[in-house]
């Protein structure tokens, strides 16, 4: 497979969608991002890297960071993690309060905001220096020591994060948050503010694709079974309430973020990352979704 040519063909096919959707302007710092970026990178398990356009431009990965947080929490808590957060698709908006209230403070899955806030709380109680250890984990996965937090984005999200503040307080009311709510919020927003480019993101996700052996990175150890289960949750819950559509069109486990990024994997074959800031009504990248649909259609390869 000539992946380089395929990526170039994909870009020409998604280009007509360049004006559709809008950036996540409800986060002031993200509203400043040019909506016209497009980058894509594919890393296969043989170590080959294929990239086009703005694949080397860093962006705020936002909710994609929840995959890294889940890996760290699963490593320290094992199966007991699922007592505090579920494994089911939400079927509602990623920042819904209604479902959380009905289900007595147990978030549906780790990738909606409520679930990720619980992950942040677990990390705060499980690691001595969670901010440093989270960043060290991400840096080792992607092989770059310059990946870091964007304090402007984190502050911007905290200053406008009223709904997330409501969510974490509701979680606290239901005794599913142990730490101070302000501490949890600030750490959660900091994780979301991590900036990576498509090349770094694809390499980081390759660890979850190529899981034939042991997973040991920056002190985090996961079994093959745990990686398999993480991939399953990415498949069913990784795209807010559009996970079913992504499975139908693309057929790969993955995770999106409102910064316009999407990372996905084909187990034992490759990891791919795409970035285009314009989002659809569900919060997923318009061009990114289409690019990955074309990738699996043209190669006739998905997990199904």
Active site residues: 63, 66, 188, 240, 258
HEC letters along the chain: CCHHHHHHHHHHHHHHHCCCCECCCCCHHHHCCCCCCCEEEEEECCCCEEEEECCCCCEECHHHHHHHHHHHHHHHHHHHHHHCCCCCCCCCCCCCCHHHHHCCCCCCCCCCHHHHHHHHHHHHHHCCCHHHHHHHHHHHHHCCCCCECCHHHHHHHHHHCHHHHHHHHHHHHCCCCCCCHHHHHHHHHHHHCCEECHHHHHHHHHHHHCCCCCEEECCEEECHHHHHHHHHHHHHHCCHHHHHHHHHHCCCCEEECCCCEEEEEECCCEEEEEECCCECCCCCEHHHHHHHHHHHHHHCCCCC
Which tokens sit at 50?
A: 């294929």
> Other C-beta atoms within 10 Å of 152: how many?
13
């Amino acid at each position: 497979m000539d992946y380089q040519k395929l990526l170039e063909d994909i870009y020409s096919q998604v280009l007509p969608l360049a004006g559709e959707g809008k950036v996540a302007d409800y986060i002031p710092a993200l509203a400043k991002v040019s909506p016209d970026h497009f980058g894509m990178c594919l890393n296969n398990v043989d170590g080959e890297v294929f990239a086009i356009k703005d694949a080397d431009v860093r962006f705020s990965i936002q909710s994609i960071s929840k995959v890294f947080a889940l890996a760290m929490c699963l490593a320290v808590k094992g199966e007991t993690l699922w007592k505090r957060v579920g494994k089911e698709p939400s079927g509602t908006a990623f920042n819904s309060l209604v479902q959380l209230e009905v289900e007595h403070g147990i978030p549906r899955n780790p990738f909606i905001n409520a679930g990720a806030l619980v992950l942040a709380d677990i990390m705060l109680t499980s690691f001595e220096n969670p901010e440093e250890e989270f960043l060290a984990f991400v840096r080792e996965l992607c092989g770059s020591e310059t990946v870091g937090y964007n304090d402007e984005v984190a502050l911007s999200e905290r200053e406008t994060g009223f709904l997330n503040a409501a969510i974490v307080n509701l979680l606290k009311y239901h005794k599913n948050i142990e730490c101070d709510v302000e501490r949890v919020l600030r750490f959660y927003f900091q994780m979301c503010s991590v900036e990576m480019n498509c090349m770094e993101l694809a390499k980081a996700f390759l660890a979850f694709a190529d899981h034939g052996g042991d997973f040991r990175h920056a002190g985090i150890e996961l079994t093959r079974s745990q990686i398999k289960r993480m991939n399953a949750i990415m498949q069913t819950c990784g795209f807010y309430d559009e996970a079913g559509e992504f499975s139908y069109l693309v057929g790969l486990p993955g995770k999106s973020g409102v910064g316009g990024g999407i990372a996905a994997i084909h187990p034992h074959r490759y990891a791919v990352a795409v970035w285009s800031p314009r989002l659809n009504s569900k919060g997923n990248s318009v061009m990114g979704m289409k690019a990955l649909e074309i990738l699996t259609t043209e190669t006739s390869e998905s997990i199904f």
